[in-house]
Amino acid sequence: MAPVSLVSLGKAFGSIEAVRDIDLEIADNEFVVLVGPSGCGKSTTLRMIAGLETISRGELRIGETVVNHLSPGERDIAMVFQNYALYPHMNVAQNIAFGLRHRNLSRAEIKAAVLDAARLLDIEALLDRRPKALSGGQRQRVAMGRAIVRRPKVFLFDEPLSNLDAKLRAQMRIEIKRLHQRVPTTTIFVTHDQVEAMTMADRVVVMNNGVIEQVGTPLDVYNKPATRFVAEFIGSPSMNFFDGTLEAQGEDLVFRIGNGRALPVPRARGSAYSKHFGKRLTLGLRPEALSVSDASDFTIEVETKVVEPLGVETIVYFDLAGHPASVRAAPNRAPRAGETVPLSFDMTFMHLIDPEDGSVIPY
Amino acid sequence: MRMNRLFRTATALSFTGAVALPLLPALAQDDLVTRDRVGLADAENSLTFRLTAYDLYSADPATAEGFVELFTTFINEHPGWRIDTQLQTGNLNEEQARILEQAQAGRGPDCAMIDSAQLATFKNAGVLAPMTDYFTQAEIDDLFPYVREAVTDDNGDIVALWWFTDLRVLYRNAGVVPDAPQTWEETQQAALDTVDEGYEGLLFNGGRTEGTAFDWLAFFWAQGGELVDETGAPIFYEGENREKFLAALQFYDDLVESGAAPQRVATITTYDDITAAAAAGTTAMFIGGNWQYAQLQTTLPVDQAEQWQVSELPGPTADQRATGTGGWAIAALSDDPAKVEMCAEIAKLYAGPGNAFQRLLPTSAALYEEYDEFAGPEFDVFAAALENGQARPGVASYPEISNQIQILLGEVLSQSKEPEQALDDAAAALEVGSDS
Amino acid sequence: MPKPIAQALSRRTATTPEASSIPYWAWLLPVMLVIGAFYIYPIIDALRLAFTDATLTGGAESYTVRSLQRVLSNPALPTILSNTAIFTAASVVGQQLLGLSVALLVVRGERHHLPGMLVLRTIVLAAWVVPGIANGVIWSMLFSESPFGAINGVLRLLELPTVAWLSNPANAMLSAIIANVWQGTAFSMIVLYAALKSVDPSLYEAAAVDGAPAWERFWFITLPQLKAAILVNSILITIQTLNTFDAILALTGGGPGRATEVLSLFAYNTVFYQFDLAGGSALSILLLLISLVLAALYMLFMPKRDM
């Protein structure tokens, strides 16, 4: 229940800079997800916020207070760890109550608080058990109970779902989300799973190589990625990329890909792209911007390599001009592997990426 | 005694890595003396000989070299024989117990070195072979009386050769204490005078070790005290013996209480501790063994060494004297007469040339005349003192009596019990122990 | 795994005809033979000897309870037992405390990547590989009350009063304990170091986030997590210390008087000094019983498996 500010935050381990220049304003009660591949610095950033890593550079504020030099216990935060870190020698009730020891509460008050938290998470029946006797999902709830019972200013989650199986993970995603609705608290959630980031976050922070690539709402980062990294990392299957050049064809712009085929660029992009005319660029198109059909006035024939039926849709993989690519198809109209099929392109979803710096050219 | 001292030294050395039985390069030359035998490997006759690591296999190269020479000559004079040598470890009590146990099971060595203090136990166990036939009557007659008695069994047979003896004497730095104190009183006063001059005072064994009891017993024996009766039962805490015992105890107690001896004597468990203090010049008087004389002579520069002189242990009066005598014997544990004879020959090798080489005290008067090595003035003192020599009583209960004396001396010296109380407790412990 | 395959597999392992025809105890036979020959037999033989009048000097043995009576009615026994209790209890506590301190120090040092932690561990361990006798000799040099004694020499240099480390009966026990703790600390350190390393570091982070200061993290996380290791360690140290006599033998020989004579040294003296095999056996059986009772007591506090 406090905003969190990260100002030029940085962390160096010896000569290695793990995290650089993190600037982030997190609003009160906002649910922010830090996402990125392993080693991108997201966990280090979270641990700096928790006080488990010292801050090498910059300033961290929780509410009005600069907390750089406060111990974790003084920051009024709660954290759920990847392996839950439940105290093995304490039962569930003791685990949950541990953080209340310095609150000057009576035994009855502590008991009530523990019961409250347990009720919220539906683990009342487990209060007497030791962590060893709990399932993964139950442990997850206890870890959350331990965090929630203290009503902290900030909730921190460090990849809390990665040890669960797929079904339970989906279920816990919803529960965490619902918990946030019932107990609104500023929440910072770290994950490497872009699905978790997309489904849970108010805002997603995509990190790579120790810096923030982009901050935005889930739909923002999906639809308007700022960099090729974000475009590639967010979304599954990944965005297709084709190298080529931006050329003029009459009054219109076309993007000529490796094999010489020119794809028409929508007129609306004309003014935004005009100064990149003639450059070598990369075209980015999500699989859903392609379709297996000859319905449009512009099609390219490709040979399918692999076909993945997912039930609701089928992903078709193929190579185009030397680039591996994929397209989503309706299950009932999906081709078989090895078939040659016509592809239609919906260029209104196109992105152009400057290969020099990986940035997406704004439009 | 000597073995115990050497055992401590060897232990101290072995952890510093210095002991590795430095067998000499000379051994390799003729292959007559090796780590486990003396003589040719294919000799037709052989006997096993369990010896300690202080002569042939000494850690001191000079000693080992000398004995290699002696043994080489010896084996050349006994062609066709091979001595299979078995080394005793430094743990004296365990080794002696092991020999006894093995001998009773018929697995013992043919010939072995036996601590004179243990002779009675071996004799009583009946494992020693008579060797009377291999000595002349003159040789037997020439043994010191207490030695002859100890090596003679109930049938009048000689069952071992006690090849060297040792005794306790009073050492003093003549530069500090010019005249040898003759009585307990004089001793205490002389020691107090050295303390005034900044010395530690009189040092002696006072810890839990055989030497403590044995050194001190001289003061009990000097009054004519007796430890055991003819059946071997302890009687030292009864009647007249009790008075004598307490008087000797009081002598030690007074030494510490008056400051004539430091309280640390209660921690001294090796003669080496005392030699070290003498060599370092922190003490000017101590009660020690005869072998320490040679140690001081070799350790100290000549001008300091000649300051150290020996005299007979003081008595309650100048003419009541005694000294404890120890040493080692060699005995045969075999039934084969040829091996027993060979064992007797080995014993004679040690008694004569061996002793002369190591300057250990022979147990027969003739040998002192025979070898020039025994010409020094100290040997006159030793020989005179040996006239008042007292061996440990040859009874099975002696080790436990000694143990109790060590305990009670420790209690008195550390001032934790009064002499009477300490003696009563020892007596009680012995009476419980002796009912079997 | 699909059910039929699982069933087939379990059938194969559980009901192979050759396996089922061999009785279960046959599988235990080799280990029972080894334990029987090398562990049980000596104990039974010692028990048997305790009821004889056997001595090392031979002679026919006959069965009697007098050896046992003699040992148990020995007026020195209460002193010996109280010496043993003090020596053992102080050694266990001392070794645990010191071992834990060094282990915490090393783990902390390693966490902060301080150099020299391996060297520190090795140095501490070096004490452990020193033989007991040598340990006694080393400490007798350090504690020596002669003018050239090491520790007193330092005290003298600092113009502090010297201490009668070994000649005062109470100090002698303390000195023996110090020597034993010095040697045994390494063992405790290794056991506790391993246990500390296996504590999940995120528990400390969780506790830190939960607002527990360092001492609470030690009290509420480290100690409970080490409980099993500390108990096992206590059992091992207790038995080890009860059986220790070589260091005392070299340090004080059990003196002055009986001030440092413990049960194992008493048993050793009884056998190898008095040649009293029966009495020594009775004492070793007593030692064994004490060890077993103490081990059983420790086991009562052993955490359940759901740790």
Domain with CATH 2.40.50.140 in chain A: 240-353
pLDDT tens column, B161-212? 999 999 999 999 999 999 999 999 999 999 999 999 999 999 999 998 889 9
B26 versus B407: which is more confidently predicted? Answer: B407
Over residues A244-252, mean pLDDT: 86
- pLDDT for res A284: 94
A102 touching C (Cβ < 8 Å): yes
Out of C145, C146, C257, whose CB is closest to B416?
C257
Out of C73, C138, C256, whose CB is closest to B207?
C256
Interface of C with B in 67-86 (CB under 8 A): 67, 70, 73-76
Over residues C295-301, mean pLDDT: 88
pLDDT of C17 above 70: no
A104 touching C (Cβ < 8 Å): no
Going by C-alpha positions, the residue among A202, A237, A254, A223 that lies closest to residue A362 is: A223
DSSP state of B133: G
**Distance linking the first and last C-alpha atoms of chain C:** 30
Q: Are residues B274 and B371 in the same domain?
A: no
pLDDT tens column, A137-187? 899 999 999 999 989 999 999 999 988 888 999 999 999 999 999 989 999
Q: Do the beta carbons of residue A118 and residue A150 sit within 8 Å? A: no
Q: How far off is chain C from B92, nearest CA to CA, in Å?
A: 9
Over residues A2-8, mean pLDDT: 93
Over residues C239-261, mean pLDDT: 89
Using 50, 70 and 90 to split pLDDT, how confident is the model at A134?
very high
Over residues C266-276, mean pLDDT: 84
Out of C202, C205, C224, whose CB is closest to A89?
C224
Contact assignment for C206 to A73 by CB distance below 8 Å: no
Mean pLDDT of chain C: 85
- pLDDT for res C261: 93
Domain count, chain B: 2
Mean pLDDT of chain B: 87
- CA C47/CA C56 separation, integer angstroms: 16
Domains and CATH numbers, chain C: 3-38 (no CATH), 69-300 (1.10.3720.10)
- pLDDT for res B311: 94
Got the DSSP string for C181-208? Answer: HHHHHHHHHHHHHHHHHTS-HHHHHHHH
Q: Which residues in chain B are contacts of C147 at CB distance < 8 A?
A: 200, 277, 280, 282
Farthest-apart Cα atoms in chain B, separation? 67
**HSE-CB of C52 using CA atoms within 13 angstroms:** 18
- Selecting from 3.30.70.100, 3.40.920.10, 2.40.50.140, 3.90.870.10, what CATH number does the domain A240-353 have? 2.40.50.140
- pLDDT for res A71: 92
Got the DSSP string for B264-310? Answer: GGGG---HHHHHHHHHHTS-SEEEEETHHHHHHHHHS-HHHHTTEEE
Mutate to test the interface with C, among B127, B267, B406 (most CBs of C within 10 A): B267
- pLDDT for res C5: 47
B140: helix, strand or coil: helix
- pLDDT for res C55: 78
Q: Which of A211-225, B6-20, B52-66 shows the highest mean pLDDT?
A: A211-225
Q: Are residues B58 and B129 in the same domain?
A: yes
- pLDDT for res C24: 81
Q: Are residues B319 and B405 in the same domain?
A: yes
Using 50, 70 and 90 to split pLDDT, how confident is the model at B17?
very low
pLDDT of B354 above 60: yes
Using 50, 70 and 90 to split pLDDT, how confident is the model at C59?
low
B164: helix, strand or coil: strand
C168 touching B (Cβ < 8 Å): yes
pLDDT tens column, A290-349? 998 887 777 888 999 999 999 899 999 999 888 899 999 988 888 888 989 999 988 899
Using 50, 70 and 90 to split pLDDT, how confident is the model at C9?
very low
Q: Do the beta carbons of residue A200 and residue A33 sit within 8 Å? A: yes
Out of C209, C211, C227, whose CB is closest to A50?
C209
Q: Are residues B242 and B341 in the same domain?
A: no
B315 touching C (Cβ < 8 Å): no
Q: Are residues B358 and B402 in the same domain?
A: no
Domain hosting B183: range is 168-324+392-433
- A and C make contact (3+ CB pairs below 8 Å): yes
Residue C98: in which H helix or E strand, if any?
helix C77-111
Going by C-alpha positions, the residue among B124, B129, B151 that lies closest to residue B139 is: B151
pLDDT of B361 above 70: yes
Interface pTM, i.e. ipTM: 0.84
pLDDT tens column, B240-287? 999 999 999 999 999 999 999 999 999 998 888 899 899 999 999 999
Q: How far off is chain C from A83, nearest CA to CA, in Å?
A: 8
Using 50, 70 and 90 to split pLDDT, how confident is the model at B430?
confident
- pLDDT for res A109: 93
pLDDT tens column, B211-241? 999 999 999 999 999 999 888 889 999 999 9
Using 50, 70 and 90 to split pLDDT, how confident is the model at B20?
very low
Using 50, 70 and 90 to split pLDDT, how confident is the model at B145?
confident
Residue B11: closest C-alpha in chain C: C134
CA of B272: how far to CAs of B4, B6, B279, in Å? 10, 9, 10
Question: What is the spatial order of strands in the sheet that A240-249 belongs to?
Answer: A262-264, A252-257, A240-249, A280-285, A351-353
Using 50, 70 and 90 to split pLDDT, how confident is the model at C58?
low
pLDDT tens column, C21-47? 778 888 888 888 988 888 888 888 888
Mutate to test the interface with C, among A44, A53, A79, A89 (most CBs of C within 10 A): A89
Q: Are residues B159 and B207 in the same domain?
A: no
Using 50, 70 and 90 to split pLDDT, how confident is the model at B8?
very low
Over residues A60-77, mean pLDDT: 92
Q: Are residues B180 and B236 in the same domain?
A: yes
- CA B1/CA B6 separation, integer angstroms: 9
- Selecting from 3.40.50.300, 2.60.40.420, 3.40.630.30, 3.40.190.10, what CATH number does the domain A4-225 have? 3.40.50.300
Domain with CATH 3.40.50.300 in chain A: 4-225
Q: Which residues in chain B are contacts of C73 at CB distance < 8 A?
A: 432
Question: What's the CATH code of the domain at B109?
Answer: 3.40.190.10
The vertex-B428 CA angle with B426 and B431, nearest 5°, equals 110
- pLDDT for res B121: 85
Size of the A and C interface in Cβ pairs below 8 Å: 71
